[in-house]
Structure 1
Amino acid sequence: MPKRWSIKTEWALLETGPLEERAGFAALGISAYDTWLTAGHDRLLQSVREAPYLSAYHFAEWLAWNWWRLRWEPRKTSLDWELSHAMGSIGGGYVWPNIHILSDGENITLVCKPTPERARTPYRYINDGASVIPAAEFESEVDLFIEMVLQRLQDCQVPDCNLRDVWQAVIHERQDPALQQQRKLEAMLGEDPGEMDEVLLRHFLNNAGATGQAALEEIAANRIPGQNVPDIAGLIELGQEQGTLTDPQDRITLRARAPRGLDTAWKLGAHTAQLLREQERLAPDTPITNDQLADMYGAPHNMLDASGHSTPRLDLSFALSQSDRRSKVLLRSRWEAGRRFELARLLGDYLIHDTSDPMRPATRSDTYRQKIQRAFAAELLSPFLAVDAMLNSDYSMESQQDVAHHFKVSELTIRTLLVNHDRIDRSELGEVGWAHS
């Protein structure tokens, strides 16, 4: 199988600077699916190049230091996230490409944007797009590149350097199961390796029994930068006291399963929703009623009524299993459309994600599991073919609002469907669109 992405280096001469920088100077090219993400216009040569001259050493050092966060931390809005995921932050006096590296846990997305034309800037990057790469392939290519840079340093007789020390630490952490789990959770919480307060981290890790390990990771990924570490005990208490009682035995089951090989989260979620609609013989252009949705989940009919719910301000919804016949559900939104979408997300999670975890979170983060939930809910509540037919090529905001109102979903849900099916440009979603790859 051909590589879906690669980092290529052609070593070059640099006469000044530290030894490791001189040894690591190279024409450095990054490609994905036969497209050079580093392609750009070279002002000095007056031509387009695939690989500008950069410091492979600085790039390798940045990849090694940020390895855990690049591998596991989903997109967050903070300067700290930018420093760990944007190649433009590497510095060192070089003109780095405007590439962001985004993880959802299963896949890595390389989001490439052109750089602006600036006077006296020797190189301007020109490509615009997003490339989705399986996480395992991201890991293997980064490993290969860093080892190649280390070999280059050895060949050039460069003594011990920071890159070698950092990379050896990463390798050790990846080989130790307990340390690997700790580093993964630190990254999902938005922390650098080993920098989080040990007491806070231990307290958070100790909640895995109450939520389940996978659920704990989803909650970690949902942490807002700069805010406190999530209070798991408080969440569980809130769910027990104020959650709506549902009966898992009454929840709908899906007789068919989505085929393997669906390459993105939204396709898996959407296809599963289509299977459920076909099974239940739901007319594509007829909105699912609140009672129908509640029945599918095994919940009381008044659960989706926005009035009468005084849920405290939360940044996630969740289901909390108590027994085979009892489960509590706490929804975040106070609005009917939001509550419908959240319950549909939790339904999708049950149908797609097989786990014995006591808790199932539906969060605002962009992990693979959360993307699947959102795609399932969007397709279940507002089937794309019906949406597309109703819009009839009129993708104005007014028409999108009308369709959203018809299906009782948010306008963002309709826009996301249109972006995922290439009806409108991804820029219509802004940065949110990166999460739906």
Structure 2
Amino acid sequence: MSAFHWTWEWATEGCDGDAEVADTTARLALHVGPHNLMRNEDVWTRCPQDAVLASAYPLALWLASSWWRLLWEPLPADGMPFSVEWRMAHELAAAGYGFVWPQVLFATDGNQIRVWALASRPDSRQSVRYLTGLEQATSVSPDEFSREAETLITATLDRLAVRGHHRSDLRVLWDLVCADRADGKQTAYRRLEAEFGFEPDEAPEPFMERALRLLQTMGPALSEVAPAYGKGSQGPAAIEAIIRAPSLAGQPSDPRPSGSPPVSGRGSLRPWEKAVQAARGVRAALGHREGPLDDAVLYELLGIAAHDAKSWSPPAQRTKAVLAEPLGGGRYRLVPRRGHPTSRRFDLARLFSDYLWMEGTGSSWLASSDLGTARQQYQKAFAAELLCPIDALTAFLEDDYSDVAIDEAAGHFGVGPMAVNALLTNNNILVRGVGGDCGHRNALYPV
């Protein structure tokens, strides 16, 4: 059985509600690895139960209606709250229909579907209190996620048919989803809609025409940028403006020995683990295992003329992404987004890491943004380790993690204090904080 799967047992007595709801009453559970995210106790018995009594119909309807966004829309960019609309497409509680669902969230990182879950608060006054949460997000392959969701949807439709409901809203919606899945061109269209935050057929036609032209130009790199703009912005027009912005000419090169393994294909390592290995490999090849990395070395890695880099000015309008357009022959037009020297160093280090991620072919667009995709996680971790190696950082700090010491370390390595804090937190040297606005991811779900 899959490590991620739904289970259900049809009940003989139906829940209150419409016929489709009542006739699909079941004892439902959601298993993620060893965890049952629907283990619960109710207010009447106060006894733990391995399944919750609810209707499968609203759950299946939510999975079908959110299908494309669940598979292709990532978390909002760093620092951005979860909008109500985004949460309706990604949080299981949005299945609604008056049932109490567990606090579970699904979002893609571009490679895997990430799953977050919180147990109900001990003082919860809802009729059902869920007992299981996840200490950190877990990953499910998109194929596994979609297969298990389809199994539940199909089982619910079969149950409806047995009970005489042959033309439900779920039936109509699922037929549309299946038709789109069977058409490769339409699947690509739905994916692009979802990446920009739209429901199927919600995006204006001119918007999607420009988005499709961008997709043809940029290829997979568009997926790393589109969600950062989304439906509430100019979308494709804003991305086109980045492409036209003042740029730097560069020709990146990989200093590691020939035959080094591709960064993006290092087995089961997580993106940040791949990043740390790759960054250390680059430093070793450069002969700079520790200490600050000069700007000149960074420019050399990207093949940028130092005087061009120093005279470059950012676009007048703040952008949400860094792009590099391949020009052929290994050459690129590099478009950083920030003028502050420290921020620009980080942008350039991330672009170089993306060059390695794309296997240094020189033929693919490079893209950085504040999204939480696997590719962006890798870039941030690579840039941090390349510019400020954790071993060198801890040696410099000498067990002093005060704000003053962190500021001094940031200045020494040429990175921002936030990057130092992130490095110390990600290496379990500082404790990760949870809290803040309820709309922010860390207030709701452990990372």
Quickly say closer, same or farther: Cα 1:233–1:395, change in 2 above 3 A: same
Please state if 1:3 is matched with 2:15. Answer: no
In 2, Cα distance between equivalents of 1:85 and 1:117: 24
Indicate the larger mover: 368-377 or 59-68: 368-377
Bigger relative CO (Cα 8 Å, ≥ 6 apart): 2
Q: Which residue is equivalent to 2:25?
A: 25
Superposed displacement of residue 252, structure 1: 3.9
Question: 1:293-323: per-residue Cα shift (whole Å, max 9, x none)?
Answer: 1111111224554x76243221111112223
Determine helix, strand or coil for the equivalent of 2:268: coil
Determine helix, strand or coil for the equivalent of 2:71: helix
Superposed displacement of residue 15, structure 1: 5.2
Match of 2:98 among 56, 68, 93: 93
In 2, Cα distance between equivalents of 1:429 and 1:415: 17
1:19-418 matches, within 5 Å, as: 19-76=19-76, 77-117=82-122, 120-126=125-131, 127-129=133-135, 130-209=137-216, 211-231=217-237, 232-238=239-245, 242-248=246-252, 252=255, 255=258, 256-257=260-261, 258=263, 260-284=266-290, 286-302=291-307, 305=310, 309-312=313-316, 313-324=318-329, 326-354=331-359, 359-391=365-397, 397-418=403-424
Superposed displacement of residue 347, structure 1: 0.5
Superposed displacement of residue 16, structure 1: 3.3
Quickly say closer, same or farther: Cα 1:419–1:90, change in 2 above 3 A: farther
In 2, Cα distance between equivalents of 1:359 and 1:107: 22
Q: What is the identity percentage for the equivalent residue pairs of Structure 1 and Structure 2?
A: 28
> Is the CA contact (8 Å cut-off) linking 1:214 and 1:357 kept in structure 2?
no
Superposed displacement of residue 7, structure 1: 1.3
Determine helix, strand or coil for the equivalent of 1:30: strand
Q: Which residue is equivalent to 1:14?
A: 14
Question: 1:183-210: per-residue Cα shift (whole Å, max 9, x none)?
Answer: 000000000011111122012212334x
Structure 2: 5+ residue stretches without partners:
77-81
Indicate the larger mover: 311-320 or 178-187: 311-320
In 1, Cα distance between equivalents of 2:276 and 2:268: 10
In 2, Cα distance between equivalents of 1:324 and 1:213: 18
In 2, Cα distance between equivalents of 1:229 and 1:212: 14
In 2, Cα distance between equivalents of 1:368 and 1:8: 29
Determine helix, strand or coil for the equivalent of 1:29: strand
Determine helix, strand or coil for the equivalent of 1:206: helix
Determine helix, strand or coil for the equivalent of 1:311: coil
Quickly say closer, same or farther: Cα 1:413–1:429, change in 2 above 3 A: farther
> Is the CA contact (8 Å cut-off) linking 2:248 and 2:335 kept in structure 1?
yes
Q: Aligned letter for 2:115?
A: L
Q: TM-score, normalised by structure 2?
A: 0.87
Superposed displacement of residue 178, structure 1: 0.6
Quickly say closer, same or farther: Cα 1:246–1:165, change in 2 above 3 A: same
Determine helix, strand or coil for the equivalent of 1:195: coil
> Is the CA contact (8 Å cut-off) linking 1:254 and 1:276 kept in structure 2?
no
In 2, Cα distance between equivalents of 1:221 and 1:89: 21
> Is the CA contact (8 Å cut-off) linking 1:69 and 1:192 kept in structure 2?
yes
Question: 1:405-424: per-residue Cα shift (whole Å, max 9, x none)?
Answer: 33222333334334443444
Quickly say closer, same or farther: Cα 1:337–1:116, change in 2 above 3 A: same
Superposed displacement of residue 131, structure 1: 1.5
Quickly say closer, same or farther: Cα 1:47–1:357, change in 2 above 3 A: farther
In 1, Cα distance between equivalents of 2:324 and 2:17: 57
Question: 1:254-293: per-residue Cα shift (whole Å, max 9, x none)?
Answer: 5312563234222222222122222223223x01111111
Question: 1:33-63: per-residue Cα shift (whole Å, max 9, x none)?
Answer: 2012223343221123332222221111101
Determine helix, strand or coil for the equivalent of 2:338: coil
Quickly say closer, same or farther: Cα 1:302–1:24, change in 2 above 3 A: farther
In 2, Cα distance between equivalents of 1:7 and 1:416: 36
Quickly say closer, same or farther: Cα 1:322–1:161, change in 2 above 3 A: same
Determine helix, strand or coil for the equivalent of 1:47: coil
Quickly say closer, same or farther: Cα 1:164–1:263, change in 2 above 3 A: farther
Q: Which residue is equivalent to 2:79?
A: none
In 2, Cα distance between equivalents of 1:200 and 1:162: 29
Superposed displacement of residue 180, structure 1: 0.5
Structure 1: 5+ residue stretches without partners:
none
In 2, Cα distance between equivalents of 1:397 and 1:27: 52
In 1, Cα distance between equivalents of 2:141 and 2:397: 34
Indicate the larger mover: 261-270 or 102-111: 261-270
Q: TM-score, normalised by structure 1?
A: 0.89
Determine helix, strand or coil for the equivalent of 2:106: strand
> Is the CA contact (8 Å cut-off) linking 1:251 and 1:295 kept in structure 2?
no
Indicate the larger mover: 216-225 or 85-94: 216-225
In 2, Cα distance between equivalents of 1:46 and 1:416: 42
In 1, Cα distance between equivalents of 2:321 and 2:105: 26
